[in-house]
Each structure stands twice: as C-alpha cells, then as structure tokens.
C-alpha cells in the first residue's frame, strides 16, 4: 500500500505550533506524526495521515459504518443496482446534498471525480485501471445519466463486492467539480489547487494544512448526517511519542496517537487518561528478494520462517500494538487465514539450511526503518537468524528512503508493512500474490514484483479469485492462496497492527477503523 507510517522527525518540529493550555470545549486537539502528508488531492493521496483527513473532508458513494466494519453501505448513494452481465453498476444519489461551497452534489461531480483519477494518472490510478478504465475510455465507462444517477461500467465481470469496495476508497472521494475547475491551471483539473485545499462535502472542511506543522478542520453544518459535535479539529505534528505523552498528561492535547507500549505502560494509574484499542488491517512482513540466490531456495525460505521470535516480540516491546499474524490478509475479515504455524525453532531451521546447502548459514542485508518499532524488530531478526549462522547486516534509514530502495528492487531483505486500500481480500492478494510482468519495465509493480517473484500460475489464481462471484467459492480460493504463500515464497508475514490511542477521559466517540481512511471525528464529544 502503500502509505507512509511512523515518519518520525525532530521533536523540535512541534514547537512550530503554539502550545495549547486547556483545549477549548468545542475543539478536539490531536497529536500525531503527520510528516508523511505530501498532498491533499484525493486523486493523489497515497499515505496514512492524509487518508485520515480525506475521510472526514470528502464523502463517497459507498462506505462502512462505525458499528460494522464488514458491511458496505451507501453513503452519497441512495441505492445501487448491478446489470445482469455484472459489468454495469448504476448508483442513485441521495437528494439535497451540498458541498462545502454550497454547490449541490450531483452525478456530474461523481463522474468527474472518478474520471479525473484516471486522467491525472497519479499513483492511486492503478486502483481504477484494474477495472479496465483508461484515459481513452473513462469518459464512456463513467457517466452521469441524469443529475442524480451515475453509471459505472467495468471491462470484465468481477465479484460485485470488489467494485463496490473500490467506491469506498479515498481515491473515490467526491470532489466539487465547479470548485475544482474554477482553480484549474493548464488542464490539471484543479490538481495544483487541491494539493493544499479541499472541495468536499464531508463532515469537516479543511481550513488549513501547514506541512510538518498542523491540519485544521472546521465543522460542516450542512453535512448529510447533521453537524459534527466538535466545531474544530486540530491535528498537530508531534513526531515523538514521549512529547505526545507529556502533552496529553498536561491536558494540552486531547488525543495522543503514537505512544509506544512502554509509554502506554507509563501512564497506568493516571485517572485523567484512558487507552483506546483499535484493531487495524496493516500487515508487517519480511520481504526476501528473489534476485538473491540463497533466498530463492524453498528450503531457505522455510528455514527463515523458523528463525523469527514472533511471540517473544509480541509479548515484549510490541505488546498491545502488534499481534502475531502469519498470512497476507488480516485476521477478522472475510476470507482471512488465521492459522499461525511458525515459531522460533533454530534447530529446525539449521536442518533446513543444511538441506539447502548452507550448513554454515550465509550473509545477508536487511533494510528497515530507523525508528521504533522497526529498529527493535530488525535487531531481533538479526539476533535469532544468527542462531542458525545467518549473519544479518542491518541497513537503517528513514522509511521514505527504505521505500525508495524497495521500489527500485535494490534490497536483499526488507522489513516493511502493507495496509489494504479497501477491505476486500483482492486488495492484498493483488500485491502479494500477483505479478503479471516481472520485467523492469512493468507497468504494474506490486509487492511480488518488488521482490522479483515471477509467479505466472499464482497470478492466474489471484485473477480467478477476483472474478469469482460465488462468495463461498471465492473465500476458499483466497484461503488456498494464503496457505500457499504462508508455506513458501518471499513473504514472511509476521504481525498485524493494533492501535493504542491515549485520550483524556472526557473524550468520547473517537473511532479509528482498520484502515487509515476509517478514522472518524464526526461523533467525538468532550
């Protein structure tokens, strides 16, 4: 996925936002690392922090409700229907909806918003390109039938839930066409302006974004569900958990989002604070480049699976924030494989390495982020791999630099994470278990490509699962794919994230869903 996670900077950066003493009753003040934000245009958003902003600023045709993170429901759409051939989806829109500008939300805005993703052809465009949309055909495939009806056509018959899930993503956010086009420059469909401004119809409108400093949201009294309880939300860039802890203890902020397990433990007994736990869909894994001869060997791949202290890490420095999970689709969702067969067993690993022709192990590099918990996890891997003679050299860098190297396929091993763009198993299968073109010139560069894993047969299975409309058959296909990748291949899936958020005790109604674009401020009260 995508998306930048714990981009930690110097603590001094938080000083650029004036400290608040006793937050106002009508304002929610949140502290988190937001230095991953590079744009606010939904057609370009591909990181975590701006996804959280987008879901509160923009609305979508479909979405999930706080009480049920498994069932898609209409949002801006009133209803939808699917043609008999499964290729055309028709959405009827709710009436009397308005953008923050006061302009009505109409079918033309929906069509424009989906079309511009393809026409701009920025990173998230691949989501819609999978539907067969191109710059040449998208205006024919996505049309406003009348002011309240949108027709979406796809190139092949897919599982309907896949298409509907795509209509719930950040990328499908509905943009005010009139507002965007009023700021168009050189045919950019308002892109330059929308990088730092907003034109949505969500619960909040974005008042300002100052890079590496703050985002300020103001309530939209005309929101389709009514005005939010908080008149203003301020997200302050505070990169260090220790600083966040001090601020929330003093009452200078209402919510701290990036505390470590040790920092969480340190606030035990503070009756002014509560800890909220929110299961996430983010998967953490060890990637093995198939350019490296040793890592192509199936026996080596299996051996390394037995050289990781999964539970030891989960019970110590990751406690409460990452749970052992050894398949590519997160636990708790449709078609998830929740079996965790591997544990630390150096003796078994040594035997497998000997069978593979490496009785004395080998030397290998490991790329990882230079912040916690990445550094601690990398050090644990280095220590346990050494028990079987595998000598690991850790290459630490900022996450952005690690990702750049990863995307260029220049790593040996890499410790990284992946969060699905939508809550359908294809969101992960399409990257872990699909690589239609392993060449350097490939237009599609999923995780399997990044690890140089050439898998024509598995890619066909992934495609077949995407097109299967029978729910139970499709589930069985994804379970089979997960089982195959769990046993062999370049992905050693290790953990699933669980977010711990520290709040002042008077804060109620905050919700952080399984994805970054499911963090809602609408119901928050103080």
β-bridge mates for residue 277, sequence order:
500
Dihedral sign for Cα atoms in the order 347, 348, 354, 356 = negative
pLDDT band of 444, cuts 50, 70, 90: confident
Burial grade of 42 (CB within 10 A; 0-12, 13-18, 19 or more)? buried
d(CA 468, CA 381): 39
Average pLDDT over residues 426-441: 96
- Has residue 19 got a pLDDT over 50? no
Paired sense of beta strands 27-32 and 232-237, if any: parallel
pLDDT recorded at residue 6: 37
Q: Contact at 8 Å (CB) between 39 and 45? A: yes
Query: To which H or E segment does residue 310 belong?
Result: helix 310-315
Structure-block tokens of residue 417: 């994470």
d(CA 199, CA 179): 6
Q: Which domains does the chain have, with CATH numbers?
A: 1-42+49-56+202-272+505-526 (3.40.190.10), 59-190 (3.90.76.10), 280-498 (3.10.105.10)
pLDDT recorded at residue 371: 85
Structure-block tokens of residue 395: 């290459």
- List of residues 6+ apart from 179 with CB closer than 8 A: 99, 101, 103, 190, 199
Closest CA to 45 of 30, 32, 34, 33: 34
Structure-block tokens of residue 279: 């299961």
More confident residue, 196 or 400: 196
pLDDT band of 21, cuts 50, 70, 90: low
Query: What's the pTM value of the predicted model, to 2 decimals?
Result: 0.88
Q: What is the DSSP letter of 463?
A: H
143-159 pLDDT tens trace? 999 999 999 999 999 99
Q: How far is CA 496 from CA 191, 263, 322, in A?
A: 34, 20, 5
Average pLDDT over residues 166-180: 98
pLDDT band of 291, cuts 50, 70, 90: very high
- The verdict on whether omega for the bond into residue 358 sits within 30 degrees of 0, i.e. cis, is no
Rg (CA), the chain: 23
Average pLDDT over residues 23-30: 98
- Has residue 36 got a pLDDT over 90? no
Q: Contact at 8 Å (CB) between 231 and 249? A: no
Structure-block tokens of residue 112: 């424009």
182-233 pLDDT tens trace? 999 999 999 999 999 999 999 999 999 999 999 999 999 999 999 999 999 9
pLDDT recorded at residue 11: 37
Closest CA to 374 of 312, 339, 322: 322
Average pLDDT value for the chain:
95
- List of residues 6+ apart from 247 with CB closer than 8 A: 19, 31, 238, 253, 256
* Buried-exposed string 57-70: b where 16+ CB fall within 10 A, e elsewhere: bbbbbbbbeeeebe
Closest CA to 57 of 526, 523, 521, 524: 521
d(CA 406, CA 289): 10
- Has residue 287 got a pLDDT over 90? yes
Average pLDDT over residues 65-73: 90
d(CA 255, CA 329): 29
pLDDT band of 1, cuts 50, 70, 90: very low
233-282 pLDDT tens trace? 999 999 999 999 999 999 999 999 999 999 999 999 999 999 999 999 99
Q: Contact at 8 Å (CB) between 460 and 422? A: no
pLDDT band of 443, cuts 50, 70, 90: confident
Average pLDDT over residues 111-132: 96
More confident residue, 421 or 410: 410
Average pLDDT over residues 489-512: 98
Q: How far is CA 166 from CA 61, 72, 107, 320, in A?
A: 10, 11, 17, 31
Q: Contact at 8 Å (CB) between 312 and 475? A: no
Residue 422, classed as helix, strand or coil, is: coil
User: Where do we find the tokens 């168009």?
Assistant: 184
Strands (E), 154-269: 204-210, 214-219, 232-237, 255-256
In percent, the amount of the chain with pLDDT more than 90 equals 91
Backbone angles phi, psi at 90, to 5 degrees: -115, 125
d(CA 427, CA 329): 9
Average pLDDT over residues 73-89: 98
Paired sense of beta strands 491-504 and 511-512, if any: unpaired
Total Cβ atoms within 10 A of residue 388: 24
195 conformational bin, left if phi > 0, alpha if psi -120 to 50, beta if neither = alpha
d(CA 241, CA 30): 13
């Amino acid at each position: 996925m995508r998306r930048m996670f714990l981009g930690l900077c110097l603590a001094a950066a938080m000083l650029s936002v004036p400290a608040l003493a006793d937050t106002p009753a009508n304002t929610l003040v949140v502290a988190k690392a937001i230095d991953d934000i590079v744009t606010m245009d939904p057609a370009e958003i591909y990181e975590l922090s701006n996804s959280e902003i987008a879901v509160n600023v923009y609305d979508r045709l479909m979405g999930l409700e706080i009480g049920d993170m498994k069932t898609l429901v209409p949002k801006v759409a009133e209803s939808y229907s699917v043609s008999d051939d499964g290729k055309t989806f028709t959405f009827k829109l709710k009436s009397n909806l308005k953008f923050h500008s006061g302009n009505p939300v109409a079918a033309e805005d929906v069509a424009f918003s989906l079309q511009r993703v393809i026409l701009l052809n920025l990173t998230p465009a691949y989501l819609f390109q999978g539907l067969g949309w191109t710059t040449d055909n998208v205006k024919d495939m996505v049309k406003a039938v009348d002011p309240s009806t949108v027709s979406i056509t796809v190139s092949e018959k897919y599982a309907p839930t896949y298409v509907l899930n795509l209509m719930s993503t950040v990328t499908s956010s509905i943009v005010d066409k009139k507002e965007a086009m009023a700021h168009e420059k050189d045919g950019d469909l308002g892109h330059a302006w929308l990088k730092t401004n907003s034109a949505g119809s969500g619960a909040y409108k974005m008042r300002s974004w100052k890079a590496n400093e703050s985002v300020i949201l103001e309530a939209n009294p005309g929101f389709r569900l009514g005005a939010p309880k908080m008149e203003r939300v301020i997200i302050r860039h505070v990169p260090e958990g220790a600083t966040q802890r001090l601020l929330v203890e003093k009452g200078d902020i209402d919510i701290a989002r990036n505390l470590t397990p040790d920092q969480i433990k340190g606030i035990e007994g503070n009756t002014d604070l509560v800890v909220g736990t929110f299961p996430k869909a983010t998967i953490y894994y060890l990637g093995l480049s198939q350019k490296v001869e040793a890592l192509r060997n199936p026996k080596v791949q299996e051996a390394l699976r037995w050289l990781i202290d999964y539970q030891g890490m989960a019970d110590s420095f990751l406690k409460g924030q990452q749970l052992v999970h050894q398949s590519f689709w997160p636990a708790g969702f449709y078609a998830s494989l929740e079996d965790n067969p591997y544990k630390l067993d150096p003796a078994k690993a040594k035997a497998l390495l000997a069978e593979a022709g490496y009785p004395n192990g080998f030397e290998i590099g490991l790329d990882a982020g230079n912040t916690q918990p990445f550094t601690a996890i990398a050090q644990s891997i280095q220590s346990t791999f050494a028990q079987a003679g595998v000598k690991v050299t850790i290459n630490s860098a900022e996450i952005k630099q690690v990702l750049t190297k990863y995307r260029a396929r220049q790593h040996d091993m890499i410790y990284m994470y992946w969060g699905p763009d939508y809550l359908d198993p294809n969101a992960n299968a399409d990257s872990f278990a699909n690589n239609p073109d392993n060449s350097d010139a490939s237009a599609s560069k999923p995780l399997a490509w990044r690890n140089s894993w050439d898998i024509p047969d598995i890619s066909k299975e992934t495609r077949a699962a995407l097109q299967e409309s029978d729910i139970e058959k499709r589930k069985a296909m994804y379970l089979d794919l997960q089982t195959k990748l769990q046993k062999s291949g370049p992905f050693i899936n290790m953990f699933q994230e669980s977010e711990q958020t520290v709040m002042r005790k008077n804060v109620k109604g905050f919700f952080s869903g399984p994805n970054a674009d499911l963090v809602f401020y609408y119901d928050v009260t103080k």
